[in-house]
Chain A
């Protein structure tokens, strides 16, 4: 259905097609690090080496990219592809990535149908390519039942504190779940993945948590994507990871927030907007927010760079920002328009 998250989708509404530059930015310099990718949708930066790990979702794999040379290599391969959407249709494999430490990589699934989807944890080894099945631990599924009438799927955004990994999920649209994978990770299959925060109980109408990150104070900052077929209905919402309670919420006027992150340099919050219905209006934005009355927030959005359907973002320790960009292609396209871009400078 259409109100769910299909953040990597490409609609041929925009003109930014082949050969067009990945982005045009104001002050920010946007540099393409890797291209020719199929639906890149999740990015994490290796804490020691600074290498980029990216879900090349439409190719069913996780790849490693050297940010200096752009050289890519496969890290985890063999994910199944799940087709969904009712037109246009899309294929997805893994969707979200997070490092718990230099060896432990958490992968959010999108490769299986709702109700069967898994979180997988890999213990990486230098030079070794894993098969998707070779996970050290798996969590889930959240099958159809009391908590989720259709079962959960599409684990796109990941954030962690000492107690757990918080996973944005789709499935039951009356809930809009954020799931919790308890830490520390233990070896084993199909461990409990808890339906933790029903975001829609706080937002009432705005569904689809996707982008997620931790605030300095240790709260969860979440981008509710809203419906992909509605314009400008994306919200920014804060939750407590301790109690699961909603803290503050605000309409942003952006279309479809797909990724969020704080600059380690300035402490400011940034997001990428996929802008499903209006790709030309999408890109990288700064979100300046302050608490308002009664659980609200005041948010000001400032566009930093235009990007053609960005899907996720991650800051390196030195403040350099990396963003996965889908471009125009969708299922059936011959062209591979996916890219990873780098933005340096004062963010």
Chain B
């Protein structure tokens, strides 16, 4: 994976969190000069991607990223010490989990699929329904979720305080040492390094005509034109960061009884958001089956067939979906583009780090 230059630890982390005053720019690909400069000093962005947004424009230190990595892989952040972030967002499985739904502590199963965290740094709104702001606002959610990791924040802080190797790191990096907010900061800083770019498509776009096979080139043409995918999967991360009803989970449902996952509506309160979910990135999509918020489509072939049909009809279906009338070859080419064109040779591989031992 792309590493971070070893800037000195312990600096610049104060006032780090996106507070209530955050200027939440929903698809702010453009950074201010200072932000880019700060970022370039600390983090490397893969080709084809813009620099990630940083809280206060400050690049995290290598030490903070390292601490975040340890926390991300540490099962001690869950009640029964069996589940870590990586259990459901596993680098070996496209930073998702390869299953339809996610399984947390005690084998408890949720009702939504675990999205990849690759390039999640580019989303101002996190989760399928966008209920959390920025990665900092997201990270403490699963830790407290009773079916995921099930720890209160007090318990979390007490556990970490008691592990000398963690206490030392927190004290060195943050003025206020171990705290729940600092856990969120550290994990988010690590997640900002889990990026995928420099895919064959990026090299193709940059002018290397041979970077894509002929079939993938034809598939790119289908993706950007006839299949209308860029109405939503647009820009460097192949997502507009927005919410759309594409009909998933609505087949055969009673629209009046609302016996389905209403998605974004639960957060916004707007009927127009009913059945809407966040547009996911399509980078590394070949690695993250099954697909959709309910993991209901097993393969990319199934996904393409689904869109070709124009999606499940429902009163809130996005107007940008319609019957595509793709030929068998166009469908096959489109799948080839998604698999070949958007899979990077620099896929972010991160091995579980060694963790600070429990006190004797």
Contact = CB atoms under 8 A, between A and B. Distances in A.
B206 interface: no
A73 B28 CA distance: 44
A149 interface: yes
Interface stretch (A154-162, A183-191, A249-257, A302-310): A249-257
Given A227-B242, A249-B30, A1 B235 contact: no
Interface string A49-90: 000000000000000000000000000000000000111100
Nearest to B224: A174
Interface residues of A, number: 36
A232 B27 CA distance: 9
Contacts of B27: 205-206, 226, 230, 233, 251
A207 B264 CA distance: 20
B274 interface: yes
B164 to A, nearest CB: 42
A135 B270 CA distance: 38
Contact of B318 (A1, A277, A293): A1
Contacts of B241: 205, 230, 233
A231 interface: yes
Interface residues of B, number: 41
Nearest to A231: B24
A87 B272 contact: yes
Contacts of A1: 244-245, 318-320
Given A2-B276, A229-B273, A230-B26, A173 B236 contact: no
A149 B244 contact: no
A170 to B, nearest CB: 10
A87 B270 contact: yes
A245 interface: no
Interface in B172-206: none
A269 to B, nearest CB: 18
B171 interface: no
B234 A174 contact: yes
A230 B231 contact: no
B156 to A, nearest CB: 29
Contacts of B276: 2, 229
B28 A251 contact: yes
A232 B24 contact: yes
A88 B243 contact: no
A104 B327 CA distance: 49
B322 to A, nearest CB: 7
A253 B23 contact: yes
Interface in A197-229: 200, 204-207, 226-227, 229
A86 B316 contact: yes
Nearest to A173: B231
A262 B239 CA distance: 34
Contacts of A230: 26-27, 125, 241-243
Interface string A36-49: 00000000000000
Contact of A87 (B26, B274, B320, B322): B274
A233 B25 contact: yes
A245 to B, nearest CB: 18
A229 B268 contact: yes
A277 B267 CA distance: 12
Interface string A13-24: 100000000000
A227 B26 contact: yes
Name the residue in B228, B239, B240 with the highest tally of chain A Cβ atoms < 10 Å from its Cβ.
B240
A174 B228 contact: yes
Nearest to A294: B30
A126 B23 CA distance: 49
B24 to A, nearest CB: 5
A320 interface: no
A120 interface: no
A35 interface: no
B235 A150 contact: no
Contact of A173 (B224, B232, B239): B232
A2 B273 CA distance: 7
23 contacts: A1-B244, A2-B276, A86-B271, A86-B315, A87-B271, A149-B228, A172-B231, A200-B230, A204-B234, A205-B234, A205-B235, A207-B240, A227-B242, A227-B243, A229-B268, A230-B27, A232-B23, A233-B26, A249-B30, A250-B30, A251-B27, A251-B30, A298-B32
Interface of A: 1-4, 11, 13, 85-88, 149-150, 172-174, 200, 204-207, 226-227, 229-233, 249-251, 253, 277, 292-293, 296, 298
Closest A-B pairs by Cβ, 7 of them: A87-B271, A233-B26, A205-B235, A230-B26, A173-B231, A1-B319, A204-B235
Given A1-B244, A200-B230, A233-B28, 15 more contacts: A2-B318, A3-B244, A85-B272, A86-B271, A88-B271, A172-B231, A173-B231, A205-B234, A229-B264, A230-B241, A233-B25, A251-B30, A253-B25, A277-B268, A292-B33
